Amino acid sequence: MTTGNMWQPVSLSHSIETATSAGTRLSGEDLVVWRDNSGIAHVWEDRCPHRGMRLSFGFVRGDHIACLYHGWQYDTGGQCQYIPAHPDLEVPKTIKVPVYLTEERAGMIWTTLAADAGPLTVPADETGTVPVQSLYVDCSADAVIAVLESMTLAPFSAGRDAETTISAVNPSLYAVSSGQDRLLIGIQTITDERTALHVVISGLPEVYEGGGQAHFLSWALDLRYRIENPPKKTFAVSSRAVAEVL
Amino acid sequence: MNEKARLVFTGHLYPEAFVEFARHRARRLDIVLDIASADGEAVNVTVEGPVDLLDAFEMACSLGPYDCLVLDVVRTAA
């Protein structure tokens, strides 16, 4: 069971390029994920305090993001610094967007809705990561984990008969290993009925880019299919029971 | 530079809803708000702060909360 007060991934790192923004949801809360020109990622409430426009529709310039609607500009702390309609105004400190703790780890951007969530328990990348895909499914995170734990993984590198091992790094991150290969699956609770899976390969780009990505994307798409199409329940009916009905 | 102004909003008002809305806007704009009187026909307030923010407050309250209809605003120096 995951909640917005725990650290959860909200995007693959490579999905948010420098000077871009995107909208997402975490436990029903609308969030903007954006990356400033120095490469630092930010996760905020996706709402301009002025008229409520989504900041994910805005544009990033340097180290601030500007609302699409009236151009109000916010610095990396969420503080409004400039209102184009009132260029001489010293903007009150009360005009501020709620910002959330943000970390980048394991090729994903992580956040938590709780200000006192404690440190993120995801080890720093030692070998690097290669992005595969973010997938979205219409079911709970618990249902995703149940299917994930039943999966097997054919390795890419060598040894087709290698055994699959699946372990939880933390409640929102699972490691799936087979042979020399290791996938990391970040689980984002969008709502109680919708979940995102952020899939990366733990390994060197020169080994996995291209063929490795395609190999594990195929596995991830199979995982999504199994999540969305659980085995149908079957019922055993005896021939005698059928005869009695007839 | 700070200014002080009296604003009288008249129309079809739910005073509790309108006053709550006005207090929220004043907090957001970081201006000083004093409610002089409030009833179903008029809300009389005094505000103090940068003139641009007083303008923003007046504009926001002229729209008001969804269940109030502001028909007129009179602004005078206080």
Nearest CA in chain A to B49: A92
Q: Choose, out of B32, B33, B48, B52, the residue to mutate when testing the contact with A (most A CBs < 10 Å).
A: B52
Residue A68 lies in a domain: yes
Q: Is B69 within 8 Å of chain A by CB?
A: no
Q: Which residues contact A234 (CB under 8 A, 6 or more apart)?
A: none
Q: Is A87 within 8 Å of chain B by CB?
A: no
A69 and A19 inside one domain: yes
pLDDT category of residue A4 using cuts at 50, 70 and 90: low
On the CB side of A133, CA atoms within 13 Å amount to 17
Q: Is B47 within 8 Å of chain A by CB?
A: no
Alpha-carbon distance of B32 to B47, in angstroms, equals 5
Mean local confidence (pLDDT), B12-20: 96
Give pLDDT, residue B64: 87
Segments making up each domain of chain B, as ranges: 2-77
pLDDT category of residue A124 using cuts at 50, 70 and 90: confident
A150 and A99 inside one domain: no
A224 and A143 inside one domain: yes
pLDDT category of residue A229 using cuts at 50, 70 and 90: confident
A71 and A150 inside one domain: no
Count of domains forming chain A: 2
Do residue A90 and residue B50 have CB atoms under 8 angstroms apart? yes
A70 and A41 inside one domain: yes
Mean local confidence (pLDDT), A65-90: 94
| CATH code of the domain in which A157 resides | 3.30.530.20
| CATH code of the domain in which A74 resides | 2.102.10.10
A93 and A15 inside one domain: yes
A135 and A178 inside one domain: yes
Between these two residues, A238 and A127, which has the higher pLDDT value? A127
- Residue A8 CA, distance from chain mean position: 7
pTM: 0.85
pLDDT digits (tens, 9 = 90+) for A153-207: 888 887 667 788 999 999 999 999 988 899 999 999 999 999 999 999 999 999 9
**Set of chain B residues whose Cβ sits within 8 Å of the Cβ of A98:** none
Do residue B28 and residue A89 have CB atoms under 8 angstroms apart? no
Do residue A49 and residue B50 have CB atoms under 8 angstroms apart? no
pLDDT at A76 exceeding the cut of 90: yes
pLDDT digits (tens, 9 = 90+) for B35-51: 999 999 999 999 999 99
Give pLDDT, residue A155: 81
In terms of residue numbers, what domain contains A172? 129-228
Buried b (16+ CB within 10 A) or exposed e, A119-156: ebebeeeeeebbbbbbbebebbbebbbebbeebebbbb
Residue A239 lies in a domain: no
Q: Which amino acid is at A242?
A: V
pLDDT at A42 exceeding the cut of 70: yes
Last residue of a domain, one of A60, A79, A112: A112
B76: distance to nearest CA of chain A, Å? 22
Identify which of A49, A89, A94 has the shortest CB distance to residue B50: A89
Identify which of A88, A90, A94 has the shortest CB distance to residue B28: A94
Instruction: Pick one of 2.60.410.10, 3.40.50.970, 3.30.70.100, 3.90.1150.10 as the CATH number of B2-77.
Output: 3.30.70.100
Alpha-carbon distance of A29 to A216, in angstroms, equals 30
Residue A2 lies in a domain: no
A159 and A199 inside one domain: yes
